[in-house]
Amino acid sequence: MATQDPRYVDERGRLVHDMLTALRYDLTIDVAAERGLLHPNGEWRLLSPGEMARRWKGREEGLRESLRVAEECMGFTLDWMRPPCPTFAKRSSARA
């Protein structure tokens, strides 16, 4: 398998990832960055096929194997894992 260990899909996901990381440590984003808890650049996103081909030049077997595994996963969804949402009793808005 060829991967670069992505943390988010695209650049838009970087802020969400940084916010969740800061929240995990109960810090602001600025303090989390100062303490080195955030990734220093946007390279932690998924790369395009062209970017992956450039990074894995000379090691194309990893790319072929990644494609084979991805094709085996076609049609797989996580829908079956969706937990049921709780139901709540309605409260009366009228007060005595």
User: Domain segments of the chain: what residues?
Assistant: 12-75
Structure confidence by residue, pLDDT tens digits, 16-65? 999 999 999 999 999 999 999 999 888 899 999 999 999 999 999 999 99
The answer, yes or no, to whether residue 87 has pLDDT greater than 80, is yes
What pLDDT score was predicted for residue 93?
A: 65
CA atoms within 13 A on the CB side of 96: 0
Whether 38 and 24 have beta carbons less than 8 Å apart is answered as: no
Of the candidate ranges 2-11, 15-24, 60-69, the one whose mean pLDDT is the lowest: 2-11
For residue 22, the model assigns a pLDDT of 97
Alpha carbons 40 and 33: distance in angstroms, whole number: 8
